[in-house]
Structures are given as structure tokens and as C-alpha cells.
Chains A and B, each alone.
Chain A
Amino acid sequence: MKPASPGVAVLALLALAACQQPATSPTLAIAAAEATRPASAGPPIAMPSLAPDGGAIAHLKPAERPPISSDEAGLWLLSDKYEDQLRTSGSMVRDPALNDYVKGVVCRLAGAYCGDIRVYLVRRPGMNASMVPNGTMAVWTGLLLRARNEAQLATILAHEIGHYLRRHGVQAMRDARDKSAAALFFSVGFGVVGVPAAGDLVALGLVGSMYAFSRDNEREADDIGIRIMARAGYDPREAAKVWANLIAEVKNDEESKDRAIFFATHPEREERLETLAALAESLLPAVAEPRLGRAEHEAAIGPHRLGFLIDELQHRRYARLEPLLGMLAADGFRTGEVRYAEGEMYRLRGKEGDDAKALAAYEAAEVSGGAPAELYRSAGLVRLRQGDRAKAVSAFARYLELLPDATDREMIRMMMAQPTS
């Protein structure tokens, strides 16, 4: 992960870190979004009331930019610079259909703020999304892979919109300034967004204190987010499922430092699940036809899933990948591709017993159909490792039969022709 420039570090910090606002009632200018609700929807969904909060920061209004003389304006300028870098990044996903899909979900959620939020899809494994103060939203493809339907995707996007509306960025900046921790901004080498990059931290003690505050921000963003998604007609019960799935994934990764950081910066997992589940039940009566958007999500994400899985495989985080692949296989979409990826995971990991698991997954992928021809090349490699040359040659031959113009055909033919060693 590249060390960020100071400006990016500031923004990333703000994307992650908390405000020291007490958990006063959040205030939202989301009334406009209410106007976009379908007529068939149920009674209006109440946002948390705007309670007197002793000078708490006001909500952002649609199309609002901070006054040029304010400290917040400086933050927005940094945000603009970050956005410029993001726009030209080599990790941007340019596919118009996928961009349109995610942007569409954001607009459905954001209502009158749609034009204020610019969505950038970042080709990167891992579940992450972020928002910086000027409305630049970065969404990792690893999140698209993990959201099992549109409502789950909306959960995270709405959470990020909550950070934006509540101006958590400027709150964090003022908080840090008040704590004389400005130097921290320039000494923290966060990556651009999100939790996985936090491994680049220095000054852990100070950062730790920031994390303690961030839980309030995260709670607030959770609270706002689930209401936003319910207003947009999504099934709010999916919110808790997103986090439950992530917890299942991270729990399997016992040695991951991300695990500790993730759970330090976000509300306690049980508390979060319980809170979201209770909120969902209270909101559900107001959602006329709770929408999952499974088919729409699959239509948009399905063609890209295998590529996203290969990205995950290249990062070799097998402990997290294993439960994820299990969940995706259970969903029943493009199972051949998912089982192929499962086979690849075992082949690449190469622990004792993994060869047999890989072959079983490849066979399941073959039965399901839709797996790429590379399945046979991979099966051949496993057979070679097992010393079963005849089956290896047979698998390689099948690969070349399906992909006669494969760019590695000369190497495959040479491997097929090699005498048994």
C-alpha cells in the first residue's frame, strides 16, 4: 500500500477517524430524499430529531460548499486534490455499466444530494468504501463482490452518505486540532481509504485515541444509513447481514492485524448487529415493499465477479477468502466461476490436503458449468504436483482443446511432452 502524501493522509484520516462530538442527535437534510420515495411507500420514516446540541455541527445542505474563509474550505481543497488523484488512478474501474449501476444506487439513496456525490470505483480487493468531505466516494470492488444484493450494497453506501451529510470529516479535523494532534495528520501514512490500509500507521497511541471517538461517528453513520436505505425502499434487515457476513470473514482470519483494527474502530460487533436489527424492525412497517434488488445486483456484478475473485486470489488472503467463497457458492449465482475460484484458492495455498480440495472444487465447477477453460490448466498443475502425469496431460489437452489460441499454448505443449521425471 503506497504511503500517502500528507494531503491524502489528512483526508484518509478524516475518512476513518472520529469526531469528538458527543453522540448528539444527528441532523439530516434528507427531506428532499423523502420527496423521491415512491407513492406506494408506507408512512414517512422519521430521521433522528434535530435536538439542541450545544453548537454541534450543522448538517450539510444540498449543493453547499463551505465559505472560502473557513477551515472547512481548506479541507475541501485537499479533498479536491485527492479527487483529482483518484480520477486518474490506475485502479479506477472504467466500465460504464458498472459505474452507472453503483451511481444509480447512490442517487436513489441520496435524493437531492445525488449531484453532490461523485462515485469512483476502485479495483481493489477487500471490503471497503469511503467518503471525503467534498462528496468524493470511493467504492472498492471488493465491496461489490461481498454485497450479496442491492440492499446490502445500499447499506454501505448509505452509511458513507451519512458520514458526508453529517460532515464527519470536518468534525474530525476540528477534534484533532483541539487535541493539538495536528502533527498526527502529517505523520500518519494511511492509504487512500479504509481499514486495510491502516497497517501503515505510525503514532499508534494517538491514533488509538482517535479510534475511540470514531465509534460515535460510526454509530451515527449506521443510524442514518439504515434510515436512508429504508426511505429508498430497501429492506433494512439486510444492514445487519452485511456486518454479520464481514464478521464471519474476519473471524476466520485469526492472525490478521486488520481484524483488531477493524473492531477497534467500529462499534462492538454484537452491539452493532443488535442495534441495526432492532432499528430494522422498527423501520420495516414504513417500507411498503422491502426491496432486496438481488436480480439487479447480479445483472450488474455477475459479469465482473470472476475478475474480482481473481483480484482477491492475487492478494492471497486465504483465511478471509474461504468463508467468502462458501457464502458466494451458497448464493447460487455463477457457481461454476465461484467453485473454480475456490479450487484456485486451495491450489495456490498448497497446504496439506489442499490438492484434493482443489480437485474437488474444480470438479464441482465443471459440473456447474460456466467456469473458465483455465480450470483444466489448473487441474493439470495439481495433478502434476500429485505425480499423476497421465491425468495432468489429459487436463492440459482439454485446456488447449477449449482454448487453442491460449497465449501459453507453447509452454503447455512443452509440459505435456516432457518425459516423466
Chain B
Amino acid sequence: MARFLILAFAAALLAGCVEGYKLVSPERTRVVNAFSVVPQTSWNRSIHGRVESWTLDGPGLQELRFVAGLDNGDRLFPTRGFAEPAKEAPAFRDTMTPIEIAEFVAASYSQAGAHEFRTRNLRPAKFGPDDGFRFDFSFATEGGLEWDGFAVGIVRSKRLYLAQFSAIRLHFFERDREAVERLVGTIRWET
């Protein structure tokens, strides 16, 4: 999975549609002109269209991923590997319930190469000031590393917004989880 994300990023970088990593200061920061958050420490971020990938130590160790407005028919990972369109990847539908969105995320990650992607603890949760949902997830990489994560999301004006945090279970997930929970708690709409 991590390898997939890195490759997808590298491909997008080559295609000129991705900025390299830039430092985010610990102050209120806009995320793809959709909402803003307040990190408590400096993060590295790269922007891929409507998706931002933030990391502290590298995307192979942890990733905070913001999806800022998927439209009907959009895919979470639009390509496989370097450039091949992921024709069979599941597409978001704006009529999806939170249950179906969790399924959509699970299928997207599975197709992208995650193994044993499992979701649990789907429940109502705030996304900024609004009522959204959240769920926990776990998966393993091809190399055998186990990752844990959680996602907070909402469908607003028929667009899907997600803040997903995932990290290697060993050390990184627990180390960073609380800080990310606080960061996600600062989401504020900017549109």
C-alpha cells in the first residue's frame, strides 16, 4: 500500500500535477480551499488535485490524507501504478450512506494493493461543525507490515470529504494518533 501511494505520488509528480512536499507550520492551514485545520506541529504536505497527503516521517510510515470533495463518479485512487486508469476501481456515488462509503474506501484500498482491509466502529461523528461519520480501519502491505487508521468524513452538497489517518501499527499509529485526533477536531469550513 505504502509502495502504491509512493508510486502514485511519483507518477503524479512526473506528470506535473503534484507539488513536492512543503512544510506546514503549526498554524491554521487551508486544505485544498475547502476547509482548514490547525496542526500542533510541523507536517510535510503534498497536494494532488483535491487530495492532500501529509506526513511527519514519510508516507511509508504514516499518512494523513485529506480528500476535499469527491464528486459523483470520482474514484479515491484514479490510477493504478504509474498511469493506468483504474477502470474497475469503485466510484463514489453521492447517494451513498456512511456504510456504503466505508465499503467504498475499503474496496478502493484493496484494489490499490492493501491486504485484508477491514473497517470497524462506524459511528456518527462531527466533521468540523457538521454531523458526519467516522470509522477505524486496518490493513497489511504486500511487505507484511500492518497498518491501523481511522477516517472522519461527511457528504456535503453531494461531495465527499474525508480526513484519513493511517500509520504502521508498530509505534507510529499510537504515537501520532492523539495529535491527529486533535488536528481533525479543528476542521473548519472555508467555503
Contacts and interface: CB of A to CB of B under 8 A. Distances in A.
B14 interface: no
Interface string B107-126: 10011010111001111100
10 contacts: A88-B143, A88-B144, A89-B144, A199-B84, A316-B89, A381-B99, A385-B95, A407-B122, A408-B135, A411-B133
A381 B97 contact: yes
Nearest to B123: A410
Nearest to A257: B87
Interface in B26-71: none
A2 interface: yes
Interface string B126-144: 0000000101000111111
A123 interface: yes
Interface in A57-104: 85, 88-92
Contacts of A408: 99, 120-123, 135
Contacts of A123: 115-116
What bracket does the count of chain A residues touching chain B fall in?
20 to 34
Interface string A396-417: 0000000000011011001100
Interface of A: 1-3, 85, 88-92, 123, 189, 199-200, 311, 313-317, 348, 350, 377, 381, 384-385, 407-408, 410-411, 414-415
A274 B112 CA distance: 38
Interface in B85-111: 88-90, 93, 95, 97-100, 103, 106-107, 110-111
Given A314-B111, A316-B107, A411 B122 contact: yes
Given A1-B80, A90-B115, A317-B88, 10 more contacts: A2-B81, A85-B143, A90-B140, A199-B80, A199-B84, A311-B110, A314-B110, A315-B110, A316-B111, A381-B100
Nearest to B98: A411
A2 B142 contact: yes
B144 A3 contact: no
B50 to A, nearest CB: 22
Q: Which of A200, A350, A407, A408 has the most CB of B within 10 A?
A: A408
A409 to B, nearest CB: 8
A3 B111 contact: no
Contact of A91 (B97, B106, B140): B140
Given A90-B141, A385-B95, A411-B122, A2 B111 contact: no
Contacts of A90: 115-116, 139-146
Nearest to B145: A90
Contacts of B117: 314
B111 A89 contact: no
B7 A348 contact: no
Given A1-B113, A123-B116, A411 B99 contact: yes
A196 to B, nearest CB: 11
Given A90-B144, A407-B122, A408-B99, A350 B93 contact: yes
A200 B107 contact: no
B52 to A, nearest CB: 24
A348 B104 CA distance: 9
Q: Which of B82, B117, B123 has the most CB of A within 10 A?
A: B123
B106 to A, nearest CB: 6
Contacts of B106: 314
Given A199-B84, A381-B100, A407 B120 contact: yes
Contacts of B177: none
Q: Which of B80, B99, B117 has the most CB of A within 10 A?
A: B99
Nearest to B109: A314
Given A1-B81, A123-B116, A315-B88, A407 B121 contact: yes
* Chain A to chain B: the 10 pairs with minimum beta-carbon distance, closest first: A90-B140, A408-B122, A410-B123, A88-B144, A314-B110, A90-B115, A407-B120, A91-B115, A314-B107, A90-B144
A150 to B, nearest CB: 26
B3 interface: yes
A323 to B, nearest CB: 17
Contacts of A1: 80-81, 113
B4 interface: yes
Contacts of B113: 1-2
A327 to B, nearest CB: 22
Contact of A384 (B97, B120, B139): B97
Contacts of B82: 3
Nearest to A318: B88
